[in-house]
């Protein structure tokens, strides 16, 4: 993580003010983004390097690569994780070298890396499809369930030449898209068209495809939640976007904190004068991370007043990193807002199976919009799904899809063209996406074992969520909203002033300081809230609920002991 200091921040603001003195107040804009500010010495160095030969034998330097890559950061695999990997190697080479015997990765939603077992039926079908020669062997009947064998034959018959190692149609294998469309229809109660389905290597490439389609320049805006999964800020940065300040008052307040810290910037942040492409809206922590339509309207009007064309609204439901599940009425308001404003609704629904509270249920935005009487001609909607989350947790298989509705035929051709650049998604991921949307049914040989595996995983996740939530709320100065869904908790930590001053001395954000100390003392890896965005002056961290149930007591014990010691050390 690069560092910038208060002096260089002030200098940059002064230089920006001088360069833009001729601009009217309506033209001068401040933004949040992800590249570092340059102090005067760095600027001089860059100027010198452009006028004199570089000593480097290569023409590829940090100054000559695509600046959008420099802007892009991804907090969940950032500095804290790099430290954790070093500590893990040290434990392997020198056991007992640290006050813990293992690293507990609570930083990322990667279930199987933490011991979750795959769903047997899914893996049986994948194995049979990958090696179809064994389908005709007599011993296969004793090793695999009859319905897995039957499903494998059905899938292979849909693949040209039964070749899972060959390229497929760029949108995905037609028969698998048929299966997924049928699964969507069964879930929602409304028809789905397989031609609307684009199979991708997880949901992330689908998000990138839509950003490529929608962002024409930094004058186009995407409404994104704060806190938000950094895929969106990273994708917007790669495609030319930046994150803007909500308003001048909030900017001034945020700058005050930056200057006070003299610290490393949050990973999603840059200050510059220019144009913006991502329009953040704040989720309301006090109401359980609710999405307020009034906040959306405020940010939309603010962007319009600066000449920004807002193209789309991103909604993550269930929420990441915040774990909330939207109420149906709230979803209806969101659909109505997008319809009235002509915005594309980008619905991240990859945690649709992860709902842990009895009073909330997942409803897709497509189901909501159709139940309101809105069809293809009324609202443009893109729904993302992935095999990486849910109860299946197949992150490494890289399977997912987007369902694209409400777009004209000529736009769909352009989406297909973008998909074609990547040739196709991997076949195993495509197969798995079809299985996720069409699991065993009552009467199938595998149904009872499938149901036991699914329900066991989801009920265990719910118990883990409650245990960690209760433990966090029992810590001094920590408050944590209920984990209604997804795989994460996002507690707020009220840090003593001495801890904030200590972070300032180390030139780092206070929540990153806390997370680093937690890692070095306990081996627990969490992600600072500044990696997701947060209200200025508040501090959080994201913690997954994924460590196996027998590991949770150790997580709670280590975290509790560390936090007590930390608060005692820095008590005001």
pLDDT value of position 286? 84
> What Å distances lie between residue 419 and 22, 171, 231, CA to CA?
44, 7, 19
Q: What mean pLDDT is predicted for residues 165-184?
A: 90
| pLDDT classification of 66: cutoffs 50, 70, 90 | low
265-559-517 Cα angle (round to 5)? 35
How far apart CA 456 and CA 450 sit, in angstroms, is 10
Nearest-angstrom CA–CA distance, 223 and 221: 7
The closest alpha carbon to 229, from 298, 315, 355, belongs to 315
* pLDDT number for residue 73: 53
What is the three-class DSSP state of 284?
Answer: strand
* Domains of the chain from N-terminus onward: 75-102+452-569 (3.90.1150.10), 120-169 (1.10.287.1970), 174-436 (3.40.640.10)
Of the two residues 231 and 351, the one the predictor is more confident about is 351
In contact, 218 and 276? CB cutoff 8 Å? yes
pLDDT in tens, 513-527: 999 999 999 999 998
Tens digit of pLDDT for each residue in 459-511?
Answer: 999 999 999 999 999 999 999 999 899 999 999 999 999 999 999 998 888 99
C-alpha dist (Å) from residue 304 to 250, 297, 301: 18, 10, 5
Q: Coil, strand, or helix at residue 278?
A: strand
293's enclosing H/E stretch is helix 293-305
Whole-model pTM?
Answer: 0.79
Per-residue pLDDT of 362-396, as tens digits, reads 999 999 999 999 998 999 999 999 999 999 988 88
Pairing type for strands 278-282 and 381-386 reads unpaired
Q: Residue 6: pLDDT band by 50, 70, 90 thresholds? A: very low
> Per residue in 238-249, is it b (16+ CB within 10 Å) or e — as a string?
bbbbbbbbbeee
Total residues found in the chain within this entry: 572
DSSP state of 355: B
The H or E element spanning position 71 is helix 67-71
- The residues, any chain, with a CB within 8 Å of residue 426's CB and separated by 6 or more, are 201, 397, 398, 399
In this predicted structure, what is the pLDDT of residue 28?
A: 32
The pLDDT > 70 percentage for the chain reads 78
Copy the structure tokens of residue 363: 């409803």
Give the start-end residues of each E strand in 187-289: 197-200, 220-226, 243-244, 272-273, 278-282
Angle at Cα 247 formed by Cα 5 and Cα 498, nearest 5°? 40
Position 107 scores a pLDDT of 86
End-to-end CA distance of the chain: 29
CA–CA gap between residue 291 and residue 225 (Å, rounded): 9
111 vs 100, 222, 470, CA distance in Å?
A: 22, 30, 22
CB 280 within 8 A of CB 91: no
What lies within 8 Å, CB to CB, of 191 at 6+ separation is 185
With 70 as the cut, is the pLDDT of residue 181 above it?
yes
pLDDT > 70? residue 163? yes
Distance CA 202, CA 426 (A): 10
């Amino acid at each position: 993580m690069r560092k910038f200091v208060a002096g260089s921040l002030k200098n940059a603001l002064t230089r920006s003010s001088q360069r833009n003195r001729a601009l009217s107040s309506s033209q001068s804009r401040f933004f949040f983004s992800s590249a570092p500010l340059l102090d005067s010495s760095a600027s001089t160095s860059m100027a010198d390097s452009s006028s004199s030969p570089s000593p480097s034998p290569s023409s590829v330097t940090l100054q000559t690569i695509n600046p959008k890559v420099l802007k892009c950061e991804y907090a969940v695999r950032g500095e804290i994780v790099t430290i954790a990997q070093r500590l893990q190697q040290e434990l392997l080479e020198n056991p007992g070298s640290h006050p813990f015997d293992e690293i507990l990765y609570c930083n990322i939603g990667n279930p199987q890396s933490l011991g979750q077992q795959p769903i047997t039926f899914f893996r049986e079908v994948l194995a049979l499809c990958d090696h179809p020669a064994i389908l005709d062997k007599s011993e296969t009947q004793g090793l695999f369930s009859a319905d897995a064998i039957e499903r494998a034959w059905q899938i292979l018959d849909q693949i040209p030449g039964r070749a899972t190692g060959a390229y497929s149609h760029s949108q995905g294998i037609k028969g698998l898209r048929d299966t997924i469309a049928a699964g969507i229809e069964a879930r929602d109660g409304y028809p789905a068209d397989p031609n609307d389905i684009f199979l991708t290597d997880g949901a992330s490439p689908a998000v990138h495809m839509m950003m490529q389609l929608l962002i024409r320049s930094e004058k186009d805006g995407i409404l994104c939640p704060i806190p938000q999964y950094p895929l969106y800020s990273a994708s917007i940065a790669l495609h030319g976007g930046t994150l803007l300040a909500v308003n001048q008052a909030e900017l001034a307040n945020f700058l005050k904190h930056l200057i006070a810290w003299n610290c490393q910037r949050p990973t999603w942040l840059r200050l510059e004068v220019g144009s913006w492409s991502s329009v953040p809206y704040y989720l309301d922590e006090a109401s359980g991370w609710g999405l307020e339509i009034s906040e959306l309207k405020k940010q939309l009007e603010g962007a319009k007043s600066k000449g920004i064309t807002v193209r789309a609204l991103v909604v993550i439901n269930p929420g990441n990193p915040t774990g909330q599940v939207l109420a149906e009425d709230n979803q209806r308001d969101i659909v109505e807002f997008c319809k009235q404003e002509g915005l594309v609704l980008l619905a991240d629904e990859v945690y649709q199976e992860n709902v842990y509270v009895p009073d909330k249920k997942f409803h897709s935005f497509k189901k909501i919009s159709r139940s309101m009487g809105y069809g293809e001609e009324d609202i443009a909607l893109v729904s993302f799904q992935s095999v990486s989350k849910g109860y299946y947790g197949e992150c490494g298989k890289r399977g997912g899809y987007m369902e694209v509705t409400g777009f004209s035929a000529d736009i769909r051709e352009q989406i297909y063209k973008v998909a074609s650049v990547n040739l196709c998604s991997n076949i195993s991921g495509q197969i798995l996406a079809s299985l996720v949307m069409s699991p065993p049914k009552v009467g199938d040989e595998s149904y009872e074992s499938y149901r036991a595996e699914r329900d066991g995983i989801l009920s265990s996740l719910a118990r883990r969520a409650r245990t960690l939530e209760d433990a966090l709320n029992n810590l001094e100065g920590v408050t944590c909203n209920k984990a209604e869904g997804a795989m994460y908790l996002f507690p707020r930590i009220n840090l003593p002033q001495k801890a904030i001053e200590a972070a300032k001395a180390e030139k780092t954000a206070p929540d990153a300081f806390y997370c680093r100390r937690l890692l070095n003392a306990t081996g627990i890896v969490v992600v600072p809230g500044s990696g997701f965005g947060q209200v200025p002056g508040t501090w959080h961290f994201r913690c997954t609920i994924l460590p196996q149930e027998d590991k949770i007591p150790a997580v709670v014990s280590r975290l509790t002991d560390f936090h007590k010691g930390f608060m005692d050390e820095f008590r005001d």
